[in-house]
Amino acid sequence: MSERHNTEMPFASPESTHWLDSIRWNDAGLVPAVAQDSESGQILMMAWMNRESLQETAATRTAVYFSRSRQRLWRKGESSGHTQRVISIRLDCDEDVILLSVEQLGGIACHTGRAHCFYRTLTGGVWETTDAVLRDPAEIYAEASDPEPVSSHTVMGQRVSGHSVMDQSTNKGGQGVEGKANE
């Protein structure tokens, strides 16, 4: 599924904004953005973008998201070093979801130290962890004073927020969560 384009030129100049008007932003001025590996097609993560983050992403070809909890731009990899080089930007048919085709630098997209955020599979009514941790998050963020914000997570119908909720997954009826969820 290799998708290669001129990776030197921006998708849009910083002065050009008319293309942003085609997007159906939610009431908070955000749009969901899905990051997909440009080589394998693997879905890596989902995060939110506002106009400013999408415009910066298009201008720099580096993924920039919007942290809802911190109400600020989140440059993917700013704490972990695991940046995303953007190969293409697509808008879905309803104009309300962005798809970023990316090269995931460092091979880790998830704050839990996994290659991607979709590492749990529903099997027999239980969420089973199916993908291994490639690098301990404590090691990834050891030198970070402000850990990288991530998407919101819901556990047992409740939003989880905070830092470093390390490997509390029990795989019993969906109880617990791994990693941190602070977006």
Q: Is 144 helix (H, G, I), strand (E, B) or coil?
A: coil
pLDDT tens digits, 45-94: 999 999 999 999 999 999 999 999 999 999 999 999 999 999 999 999 99
Percent of the chain at pLDDT exceeding 90: 68
pTM of the model: 0.76
pLDDT band at 5 (very low <50, low <70, confident <90, very high): low
Rounded to an integer, the average pLDDT of 89-108 is 98
Architecture of domain 18-104: Roll (3.10)
Residue labelled with tokens 């972990």: 80
Name the DSSP class of 149: P
What integer best gives the mean pLDDT of the chain?
81
Q: Which neighbouring-strand residues pair with 133?
A: none
Q: Which of 122, 116, 113, 117 has its CA nearest to residue 174?
A: 122
- pLDDT tens-digit profile of 15-39? 889 999 999 999 999 999 999 999 9
Nearest to 51 by CA among 82, 24, 88: 24
Pick from 10-14, 17-21, 136-140: least confident: 10-14
Looking at the predicted structure, is the pLDDT value of residue 134 above 90?
yes
pLDDT at 4 over 90: no
pLDDT digits (tens, 9 = 90+) for 152-166: 433 333 333 333 333
Model pLDDT, residue 10: 86
pLDDT, residue 23, reads 98
Burial per residue of 94-112, b for 16 or more beta-carbon CB atoms within 10 angstroms, e otherwise: eeebbbbbbebbeebbbbb
Name the helix (H) or strand (E) containing 127.
Answer: strand 126-129
